[in-house]
Amino acid sequence: MRGRDGRVAVVVITRNRLGELLVTLGHLSALPERPGIVVVDNASTDGTPGAVRERFPEVEVVSLTENVGAAGRNVGVERVDTPYVAFADDDSWWARDALSRAADLFDSHPGLALIAGRVLVGPQEKEDPINAEMEHGPLADRPDLPGPPVLGFLACAAIVRRWAYLEAGGFDPRLLLGGEEAFLAADLAAKGWGLAYVRDVVAHHHPSTVRDRRSRRRNTIRNDLWFAWFRRPLSTAARRTATVARLALRDADARAALIEALLAAPLALRSRRALPRRVENDLRTLERKRNVQAQTG
């Protein structure tokens, strides 16, 4: 699906947020690049597919029969034929010219797989704290990238090289939503791709008030634990497991997350794929900086 620019399409995932989705599609449809847009509906019960087709007939809608969370993006990426794909959630959209700027950078940096955009939050357009974290990260600069290298990002403000994303396997359907980005970032890096933060590629995020915060927190704790089990050294996995187990003694969400994670332990052993040393070293560098920041307040 190609628009006026022809290089970037937008994939939006949604579930039961019709009002906010319509606002997002209004912004995306008004972009000067006129990108092709695919909405992947995660089994909404609020009439989302029909309403979108009526209000935005140019938008392709894919209706799923079950909620697959972040993996809905995989479905959208497979439906488009552009070399680059921008992600949006139903409460986020891209700024004017951001997609063309990103496409230019991908064209000129063949080793670049993902651009993490600058995120402006709410009507006041406040800087998301993740912007400074990515812009001033501890990883060594790479001359082959258009900005500071990263090993994390917000999916609603990310643009990917389509075939690199597919090569890495996209988002794991077991993760649903909550910290799912860690797996993709590490798997892209493991294959030798670069990921970079680019300040002048801007995304707007107006966080939805319609969300199950406890479910998202449980998913995040579980997915963080799975990431340690599936990708990190056994010593790291053991430390992370002990940390979550201690938290589970007093925290119901952590307890539920630990139980869910343990139920998948046999699968973790079968599908474990340790990261290359260089990627693991970068993860440890990031963790050391976070630990220092936590200790200094």
In this prediction, residue 297 carries a pLDDT of 61
Q: What confidence tens digit (pLDDT) does each residue in 90-122 have?
A: 999 999 999 999 999 999 999 999 999 999 999
More confident call, 181 vs 296: 181
In this prediction, residue 292 carries a pLDDT of 79
In this prediction, residue 1 carries a pLDDT of 65
In this prediction, residue 97 carries a pLDDT of 97
* Mean pLDDT, rounded, for 51-79: 98
Residue 274 has pLDDT above 80, yes or no: yes
* 232-236, 241-245, 291-295: least confidently modelled range: 291-295
* 1-10, 24-33, 108-117: least confidently modelled range: 1-10
* Mean pLDDT, rounded, for 141-168: 97
More confident call, 166 vs 269: 166
Q: pLDDT band at residue 3, thresholds of 50, 70 and 90? A: low
The reported pTM is: 0.95
In this prediction, residue 264 carries a pLDDT of 84
Q: pLDDT band at residue 5, thresholds of 50, 70 and 90? A: confident
In this prediction, residue 2 carries a pLDDT of 66
In this prediction, residue 266 carries a pLDDT of 83
* Mean pLDDT, rounded, for 188-210: 96
Contact 194, 113 (CB under 8 A): yes
**Maximal CA-CA distance, the chain:** 55
Q: Where are the domains of the chain?
A: 8-205, 213-291
Closest CA to 134 of 289, 291, 21, 259: 289
> What whole-number distance in Å separates Cα of residue 169 and Cα of residue 180?
13
Strand partners, 89: 13
Q: So what's the architecture of 8-205 in CATH? A: Alpha-Beta Complex (3.90)
Hey, which bits of the chain come out as E strands?
A: 8-14, 36-41, 60-63, 84-89, 92-94, 112-121, 126-127, 158-161, 194-205
